[in-house]
Structure formats: structure tokens, C-alpha cells
Chain A
Amino acid sequence: MNVKFINPFLEGTISVLKTMAFVEPRAGKPYMKMDNLAKGDISGIIGLTGSATGSLALSFSEAAILKIVSNMLGENIKSVNTDIKDAVGEITNMISGVARKNLEAQGFNIQAAIPTVVAGKSHSITHVMGGPSLIIPFEIDEGSFVVDVCLSE
């Protein structure tokens, strides 16, 4: 996986969550993940096709997503419900949109499919292309989440 894919997804994540959820995610050091195990309690995954093919997943700890969606909706949500699941899909969609726009500037033309959402402890994320994926870890005050992307040209 090419390192030039890191920044578009990193910037997309920060931009979407800052704008829509009023949080300031702090990015950690990216690393490669070799297994299918999700890093969080709820994940959104979206297929990407075009001049690069693969998939993007966002995997949130429960504490992090409750804070993010509570801020987005302007109400205090205390457990993972339909609103949270819908919002994870929409956040994944928006981050993919910003990242693809950023990648367009590097000459990539990438389309996205409809996101799906999986919840539950120790769920798995199956990337379209298989193989290792790139993890960009993030923290907000309430908890952690990761961008999990597997994309090849």
C-alpha cells in the first residue's frame, strides 16, 4: 500500500469530524494491520473502485462514537442505537468523499459504493482486496478510533 494514500484519509477524517462533530481528533503513528479483527466496537466500511481499488473502514470505540454522534445530533446519546449506526455509515461516506476529492488532486479518480456498518465486540473487517491494511489511529478525549484502509493501484 502506497504511503501517498495516508494523508488524504488522515485529512479527510480530521476535516469531517471537526466540521460535523466539533471534535479535534489527534492522529497517532500509522502502522500495518495483518489480521481482520476490527480495532473498535462499531465499524463502517465502504468499497472503493476506479484508478485505485480497495476499501476504507472507520472503527470506533463505543465511548468515542457516542461523543461524536451526540455532538452531531445535539443530544446526549448513551448507548449504541440506530442513530449511531446510521451516523457511522454517513461519517464513513463523508470521509471517503473528502479523501477521494483529495486523491483527485493526485490524479486518482475513485468511486465509492454504499457503506455498511458492523457493530459488536471483536467483529471482523474484510477488506475488498484482502491482505494487510493501513491503520491510522486517532484519539479524542473520550476514546479512540482508527481509519483502516486497504487500497491498491
Chain B
Amino acid sequence: MNEKNIKILVVDDFATMRKVVRNLLKQVGYEDIVEAEDGVMALKALKSQKIDVVVSDWNMPNMSGLELLKAVRADADLAKTPFLMVTAEALQDNVVAAVKAGVSNYIVKPFTAEVLNEKIKKIMDSINK
């Protein structure tokens, strides 16, 4: 599988941030990108199509990124889905909570397209080993 030929689900309650992340992903060669505006919509997307990586914001109304991560890990069909958490700050407590919940990696805003690419590549490399 071409490493750029993967389907990425971008989850953020702000349409503008979804566009920003989509723009960054496109800059580094990812084309197959779908979006969800919150955790609930993200779960629906995950159940209806094959998603290779979830890139989710932490702070979202209704269902936060952490709650989405926990729901994904608790679902037998989705449990192994790679999950990259996006946070506005690297607070120790948040990082610990995300790691405990089974996050694959996390990325702190602001980030460049290259850093985003590295994180996704690292996640994909680890599951392809």
C-alpha cells in the first residue's frame, strides 16, 4: 500500500480548522480525506467506511476527542484504528489521559504539514511492522 494512499478522518467542530488540517495533509500528499464535525459524526463515519487514521481535535462539544478515542477503543470493530490527537497545549494531565485511553500519538498546535506527516507516518509504520 502506498503510504499516502490512506483514508484519513479529520474531526474538529470548527469547519475552518478541518479545512486547515485538510490543506496541510494535501501539502504532504494525502488526498483521501473525510471530515466529521464532532465525535458522534466521527463514530458514524468510522462505522460506515474503512478509515486508516483518525486525526481528532481534543476540545469539542458533545463528545470530546478523548471521549471519541475511548469509544473507538471500546468498539471491537474499531478498536485498532490509529488515532492521532490534536491538542492546543501539551498539558501533562491531558497527555497521560490520552495515553491511558490508547492514543497512537498526539500533536500540539501549531504544527507544520511536515510534523503532521511525520506523526502519521510513524503511526502507519508501527502498525505495518
- Please give the residue numbers on chain A whose beta carbons come within 8 Å of chain B beta carbons, in ascending order: 15-16, 19-20, 69, 72-74, 82-83, 86-87, 89-90, 93-94, 96-98, 100-101, 112
Contact = CB atoms under 8 A, between A and B. Distances in A.
A122 B94 CA distance: 39
Contacts of A73: 16, 19-20, 23
Interface of A is mostly: helix
B20 A101 contact: no
A101 B89 contact: yes
Contacts of B108: 97
Interface in B80-108: 87-90, 108
5 contacts: A16-B110, A90-B16, A94-B110, A97-B88, A97-B108
B26 interface: yes
Interface of B is mostly: mixed
A67 to B, nearest CB: 15
Contacts of A16: 109-110
A98 B110 contact: yes
A98 B111 CA distance: 11
A19 B112 contact: yes
Nearest to A88: B16
A100 B87 CA distance: 13
B41 interface: no
A90 B87 CA distance: 12
Given A100-B89, A101-B90, A74 B16 contact: no
B20 A15 contact: no
Contacts of A83: 15-16, 19
Nearest to A15: B110
B26 A74 contact: yes
Contacts of B14: 86, 89-90
A134 to B, nearest CB: 22
A94 B16 contact: no
Nearest to B109: A94
Contact of B88 (A69, A72, A94): A94
A143 B24 CA distance: 24
Nearest to B112: A19
Interface in B25-49: 26-27
B79 interface: no
Contacts of B112: 19
